[in-house]
């Protein structure tokens, strides 16, 4: 199911039931998994691996050379998982030799129009990036992150799982898991309670996360003191442990 106007390199590996529309370019050393659909005028650059069931819409550029002044043509990769929706004009860069050498996109993500994901990023599963979100190089994004339109993320930030950003948010530091952030510069607003509830997180865990949020983000209690003062039920909650581990391991600091 390859349109005759498409330009597909001879060594491209194409799975079953793949559709490649008009004027698509697929360069050498590319793999496209079964049941995927590549929209017209899209470009799939060399050294890209695309899993099964992906829908790439028109005019996307997937696996482009990293936008890094240090890049000297080294062979680096982009790996995309399964069942992602990548909308019009999305750009995703390959990795660089001075970091991971690969950019990684997980499964079941929805990347809306004009999203950019820079080199060496590691994107989890079930994320939503709304139109115009721009992610610089070396960024890690956890599962179920929801980034609203025109969110901008500085290099080397970590975006925690189940977090949410407001529209036009500018992030220069890490975003803690389960937290909603907003503004320029960003500030932590609240626990993403509605999103967590929709994903089946118990009310008990949400209540425990709110206790930690109020102490650390509102009252600015330092992490060591916070850990010492938590009651047993809160301290043993799995979501709270995830949040505390993230806070303890941050290198750029977290949005407060």
Condensed to tens digits (0 to 9), the pLDDT of residues 129-159 reads 999 999 999 999 999 999 999 999 999 999 9
**What parts of the chain have a pLDDT lower than 50?**
none
Residue 199: CA atoms inside 13 Å, Cβ hemisphere, count? 19
For residue 236, what pLDDT is reported?
Answer: 94
For residue 197, what pLDDT is reported?
Answer: 97
Taking the C-alpha atoms of residue 173 and residue 252, their distance in angstroms, rounded to an integer, is 6
CA 239 to chain centre: 20
pLDDT, tens only, 151-202: 999 999 999 999 999 999 999 999 999 999 999 999 999 999 999 999 999 9
> Does 138 participate in catalysis according to the annotation?
no
Query: Token pair of 126, please?
Result: 């079930």
> Does 238 participate in catalysis according to the annotation?
no
> What domains are defined for the chain?
7-138 (2.160.10.10), 196-249 (no CATH)
User: CA dist 186 to 69, 154, 164, Å?
Assistant: 28, 12, 12
For residue 154, what pLDDT is reported?
Answer: 98
Beta-sheet strand order (sheet of 77-80): 13-14, 30-32, 48-50, 77-80, 102-105, 122-123, 140-141, 158-159
Query: Token pair of 92, please?
Result: 């995703």
> Does 53 participate in catalysis according to the annotation?
no
pTM of the model: 0.96
Active-site position among 120, 122, 125, 174: 120
- Taking alpha carbons only, the member of 107, 156, 113, 149 closest to residue 127 is 107
- Strand, coil or helix: what is 175? strand
For residue 235, what pLDDT is reported?
Answer: 93
For residue 97, what pLDDT is reported?
Answer: 96
Active-site position among 119, 138, 143, 162: 119
Active-site position among 39, 106, 137, 166: 137
């Amino acid at each position: 199911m390859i349109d005759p106007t498409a330009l597909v390199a001879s060594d491209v590996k194409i799975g079953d039931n793949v559709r490649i529309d008009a004027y698509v370019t697929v360069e050498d050393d590319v793999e496209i998994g079964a049941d995927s659909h590549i929209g017209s005028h899209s470009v799939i650059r060399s050294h890209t691996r695309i899993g099964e069931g992906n829908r790439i819409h028109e005019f996307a550029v997937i696996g482009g050379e990293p936008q890094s002044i240090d890049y000297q043509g080294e062979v680096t990769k982009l790996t995309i998982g399964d069942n992602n929706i990548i909308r019009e004009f999305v750009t995703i860069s390959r990795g660089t030799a001075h970091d991971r050498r690969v950019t990684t996109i997980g499964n079941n993500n929805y990347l809306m129009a004009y999203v950019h994901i820079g080199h060496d990023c590691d994107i989890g599963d079930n994320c939503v990036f709304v139109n115009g979100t721009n992610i610089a190089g070396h960024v890690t994004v956890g599962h179920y992150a929801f980034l609203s339109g025109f969110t901008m993320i500085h290099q080397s930030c970590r975006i925690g799982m189940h977090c949410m950003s407001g529209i036009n948010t500018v992030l220069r530091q890490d975003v803690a898991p389960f937290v909603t952030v907003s503004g320029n510069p960003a500030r932590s607003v609240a626990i993403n309670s509605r999103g967590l509830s929709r994903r089946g997180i118990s009310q008990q865990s949400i209540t425990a996360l709110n206790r930690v949020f109020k102490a650390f983000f509102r009252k600015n209690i330092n992490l060591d003191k916070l850990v010492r003062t938590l009651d047993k039920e809160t301290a043993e909650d799995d979501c709270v442990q995830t949040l505390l581990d993230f806070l303890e391991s941050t290198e750029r600091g977290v949005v407060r």
